[in-house]
Structure 1
Amino acid sequence: MNHIKRGVLALCLLASGGAFAADAVSLTIDTAKPGAVINKDIYGQFAEHLGTGIYEGIWVGPKSKIPNTKGWRNDVVGALKAMHVPLVRWPGGCFADEYHWKDGIGAREKRAVKVNTNWGGVEESNAVGTHEFFDLVEILGADAYVNGNLGTGNAQEMSEWIEYMTSDSKSTLANLRRKNGRDKPFKVAYFAVGNEAWGCGGNMSPDYYADLYRNTETFLRAPKQYRPKMLASGGNDNDTTWTETLSRRLKDKTAGISFHYYTIPTDKWEGKGAATGFKENEWFSTLSNTLRMDDHIARNVAVLDKNDPEKKIGFMVDEWGTWYDVEKGTNAGFLFQQNTLRDAVVAALNFNIFHAHADRVRMTNIAQMVNVLQSMIITDKDKMVLTPTYHAYEMYVPFQGATSLPLTLQNNPKYTLDGKSIPEISASAARGADGKLYLALVNTNPGQAADVALNIPGQTIKAVKGRVLTAEAMDAHNSFTTPQAIKPAPFSAAAGADGKLTVKVPAKAVIVVAVE
């Protein structure tokens, strides 16, 4: 009941037009100069063989009492379809560089049982392999991003996997695929040669990896209509040397270079910070650290613009998200953490950054989809709960395939804590595929609302309608006992008598609206 009362109160406060314009942030959208299209794959997901991210989390097997389709649980799949998942990356991650695809085909009861040495030392049954993965993406209506094994694999193994998946011939491998139940080739949108080659994927130098990539890519042949876009494993954090080397040496041989960046409150891998029960200083440091993504992308894009002015190479942020200390009492190798309003704000801030770089950022994959790190969904046996990050993704669906629009923010206050500051308001605007103008607003300040006055030169703004995601507590989250403690609420605002429209953005909030 208290949650309902708070929601009604919030709507009363939010439905404002013009009343707060005097001290408002000025936001101007230039609809006359459309920018790059926001690739739908910017909203991609990542499912690694890690903890319960696949097994138990979303795969229960066709014989399970939990309702499922081809072994994939219906409740999770239904929720993922509702947020329009465009792309799924699989099977890793670090797991990919120890994954041998032939272990995951044929009768499940006869598949090799391995040890997942990267994540928890648990048994890997290989029950989910190539065919099962494609069942999932096809049920979701999503594209497939397959990560090849360069660490313990080789060019031959990846070449044979590509042939198995994509050949329409009568070759032995194509016929083996048919024997295993799939007549037509699979549609592989992207195929990556290795993962984190600088670390768990082999501790390589950029030049050594470039040599291996060039050798491997030569043999990754597929029929033209089934050939995936080939991706190279790039750098992370502040390192631009991988982008520098790969964009020079792999030009015309790769469609994109990957990049990884995780947001950690404390900046320390040992003692990252808690997912819940944190103080405002860790709210601030988390948001401040995630905003570094903009600088990381900008510096790498500058390298790409120098070496690839034709913009043939995309910048693929195929691992990103928050990383906290694991929840107490859970397997440290399973990387389970609770997901709060803070995570939704982090997600929205990154979406706005990705939109601003849409001409180069053509794919991102949050880590990860279910039960791992900054997940969309948390499950426990037959129970399921949607996270605040899920709601952020679902709210931003109109931006998939939209055309970005330039905007300017003036009089944007700083959110300041302990002598450090970040911008209070983050925004992004785009013309949706449906022709509507969409606006996203994020307030980073957990203690103060902000007024944003909207302006579109040459147009009159009558109203905005959409949804808002916020809560009283910084660490508000959903659980199996309170599964809807935080969820989006309707939001609208109309122009005032003076013809101007000012939106009051609550503290610690994400808003997505259509502008009328």
Structure 2
Amino acid sequence: MARLVINTKKKVSKINKEIYGHFSEHLGRCIYEGIYVGEDSPIENVNGMRCDVVEALKEMKVPVLRWPGGCFADEYHWKDGIGPKETRKKMINTHWGGVVEDNSFGTHEFFELCEQLGCETYINGNLGSGTVQEMSEWVEYMTFEGVSPMAELRAKNGHEKPWKVDFFGVGNESWGCGGNMNPDFYANEYRRYQTFIRDYKTGEHIEKICCGANVDDYEWTKEVLDTCFRHSLPFQHGFMDGLSLHYYVHPEGWDVKGSATDFDETVWYKTLNKALYMEELIQRHGAIMDTYDPEKKIGMIVDEWGTWYTCEPGTNPGFLYQQNTMRDALVAGITLNIFNKHSDRVKMANLAQMVNVLQSVLLTEGEKMVKTPTYHIFNMYKHHQDAELLDSHMETKTIGTGEWNVPNLTESVSVAEDGTLHITLTNLSLEEDYEIDTTILDKAVSQVRGEIVTGEMHAKNTFEEPETVTVETFDKAELTEGGLKFTIPKCSVVHLEVR
């Protein structure tokens, strides 16, 4: 029997809702066909946005959406995506698939999508191939209310009132596809570009995200912060609100990656082992950030994360389309528990990507739409959004095969404003169920409600069988004198709501 102890008197940190954020890039069928089909499509839509997709995402409570990239952001020139659609420039998407980008989904369409979703906006600006003027004018176009060239242009294009930009990324992967820069060079560019991302409206601040490291490039983190913090500029309000981190799980390595659906027990544990590496990355990058920012005013922004496999056979390799199984459900549950546990430093995260790309929550094919196992995890975990992380400890044991060892269980616990506890647990084992004896300190428990996502490790949802993996009622938890007792099945993710 494993023991879980929850201290309801010890609130650790707020779990920002933005930790449950998402990412949509002009890549494959993420935007076009996945989200946006145009006003004239036979697929039901509102102003071009698929109704089925929007409703599914609203149910999941998407808190924030990042756009337009990704690598695409540093070749995106925003003026190509405004004005009448028939006059917008066409271009070749050189990063992703070599297909024609017609720019029919641009700034106005992005804000329309976010308004339909009721979510915050995260714009990624073009530092790699764009100018300071271009970036500054985009911010003016989106947010300035008054007399100015960009405000007049926005009104001419049909939107007199400004929008609200919540977050703005100054470049993307500047160490790679965003310009192949050295950290000190990028940091000086960041200092320059961010100066012209202005807060035009009193009381509304655009949070600026600095490009952080690729995986374990701790030198990048240190040198960027060292250069940025020189001459005490960062102590000015709003100079830097977040530093990004990108990490993808490649079971067989960057070059090979591995199949999304054809894997054995060893690869299962190998994948989960690599997902757990996220904790070390957060701790080590976080320790460097603590040197410059001990009060944790600058958030760690994990704005690209998830599984990345070899694309599905017969699909365009530049579209990064992959299936989604119970393995992805466990990766999602593990990672979100880690983010919750480190919510004192991790302030936003964005799963890559929302629809039809990498570890997506939805798949579409024509008029059909499927919710993936990952979707159901986000839908269960949504109760953690803006809740308070509670101190908790789980007894675990090591399982796995060969060198690929993992703890058998992970968990996180939060308390909502109304006092409800939300406990999320993952069982990483393919063979064993585990009995959990839960002690809840300083709280009398009178009611528990549970839900579960479980199945055979290869289980997936297809357009022919869309509900093979879904959320089911979990009624195995029993009240005890000190808390709860239940058994968590193998290969599962459980959410318990305790009152």
Q: TM bucket by the smaller chain? A: over 0.9
1:92 aligns with 2:69: yes
Structure 1 position 351, deviation (Å): 0.5
Deviations 1:229-284 (A, max 9, x none): 11111111111122212333333421000000001111x22211110021011111
1:337 to 322, 325, 333: 322
The number of residues matched between the two structures is 490
- Could you say which residue in structure 2 is the equivalent of 1:136? 113
What CA deviation, in whole Å up to 9, does each residue of 1:61-88 have, x standing for no partner?
0111111011001000000000000000
The answer to whether residue 224 in structure 2 is matched with residue 239 in structure 1 is: no
Letter in 1 for 2:27: L
1:226 positional shift = 4.0
Distance 1:357 1:115, change over 3 A: same
Q: In structure 2, what is the Cα distance between the partners aligned to 1:187 and 1:362? A: 19
**CA displacement at 1:416 relative to structure 2:** 2.5
Partners in 1 of 2:319 and 2:97 — Cα distance? 6
Q: Is the 1:28–1:407 contact (alpha carbons within 8 Å) kept by the matching residues of 2?
A: yes
Structure 1 letter corresponding to 2:278: M
User: Could you tell me which of 109, 112, 119 is aligned with 2:86?
Assistant: 109
Distance 1:497 1:200 in 2: 55
Whether the 8 Å CA contact 2:266–2:404 is kept in 1: the answer is no
Q: Give the alignment's TM-score, normalised by structure 2.
A: 0.96
**Aligned counterpart, 2:344:** 359
User: CA deviation digits over 1:256-315, x for unaligned, max 9?
Assistant: 00000001111x222111100210111110000010000000001111111111211110
1:219–1:501: structure 2 CA closer, same or farther, 3 Å change rule?
A: closer
Separation in structure 1 between the aligned mates of residue 363 and residue 43 of structure 2, nearest angstrom = 15
Cα separation, partners in 2 of 1:25 and 1:64, compared to 1, 3 Å = same
Partner residue in 2 for 1:287: 272
Counterpart position of 1:305: 290
Give the letter for the 1:452 counterpart.
I
Are the aligned partners of 2:440 and 2:483 in contact in 1 as well (CA < 8 Å)? no
Structure 1 stretches lacking a partner, 5+ long: 1-23
Distance 1:249 1:483, change over 3 A: same
Residue from 170, 181, 192 that aligns with 2:147: 170
- 2:42 maps to 1:57: no
The corresponding residue for 1:439 is: 423
2:414–2:421 contact (8 Å) kept in structure 1: yes
- 2:462 aligns with 479
> Could you report, residue by residue, the CA deviation over 1:403-445 in whole angstroms, capped at 9, with x for unpaired residues?
00011122x2221212542110101000023320110010000
Structure 2 counterpart of 1:273, one-letter code: G
CA distance in 2, matches of 1:175, 1:422: 57
For 2:342, give the aligned amino acid.
Answer: H
| TM-score, normalisation: structure 1 | 0.93
Separation in 1 of the partners of 2:413 and 2:481?
24
8 Å CA contact 1:462, 1:495 repeated in 2: no
CA offsets 1:438-479 (integer angstroms, 9 cap, x no match): 1001000011111111001233444531200001x2010000
Provide the secondary structure at the position in 2 that maps to 1:456: strand
**How far, CA to CA, are the matches of 1:34 and 1:511 in structure 2?**
22
Once the 2 structures are TM-superposed, how far is the Cα of residue 154 of structure 1 from its aligned partner? 1.4
1:453: which partner in 2?
437
Cross-structure match for 1:515: 498
Q: Which runs of 5+ in 2 are unaligned?
A: 229-233
| Counterpart residue type for residue 224 of structure 2 | L
CA contact (8 A) 1:415 1:421 kept: yes
The SS at the match of 1:291 is helix
Distance 1:99 1:512, change over 3 A: same
Which amino acid in 1 is paired with 2:443?
Q
| Distance in 1, Cα, partners of 2:292 & 2:484 | 44
Between 246-255 and 90-99, the greater mean CA deviation after superposition: 246-255
In 2, Cα distance between equivalents of 1:177 and 1:50: 26
Structure 1 Cα separation of the partners of residues 418 and 52 of structure 2: 28
TM-superposed deviation, 1:500: 5.8
Instruction: Decide whether the 8 Å contact of 1:257 with 1:315 is kept in 2.
Output: yes
Q: Structure 2 residue aligned with 1:319, among 304, 309, 326? A: 304
Aligned counterparts, 1:39-438, within 5 A? 39-223=16-200, 224-250=202-228, 251-252=234-235, 253-266=239-252, 268-410=253-395, 412-438=396-422
Tell me how far apart the structure 2 counterparts of residues 171 and 248 of structure 1 sit (CA, whole Å). Answer: 37
Task: Evaluate the alpha carbon distance shift between residue 180 and residue 496 of structure 1 in structure 2; reply closer, same or farther with a 3 A threshold.
Answer: closer
Q: Give the partner amino acid of 1:277.
A: D
User: Hey, what's the Cα distance between the residues in 2 that align with 1:227 and 1:129?
Assistant: 23
- Alignment root-mean-square deviation, CA: 1.3
Matching residue's letter, 1:237: V
Identity %: 48
- Return the offset for 1:494: 4.6
C-alpha contact (below 8 Å) 1:343/1:374 kept by paired residues: yes
Distance 2:481 2:291 in 1: 48
* Pair 52,327 (structure 1): closer, same or farther in 2 beyond 3 Å: same
Distance 1:160 1:227 in 2: 17
Q: Do 1:166 and 1:227's aligned partners in 2 also have CA atoms closer than 8 Å?
A: no
Question: 1: CA distance between counterparts of 2:218 and 2:446?
Answer: 45
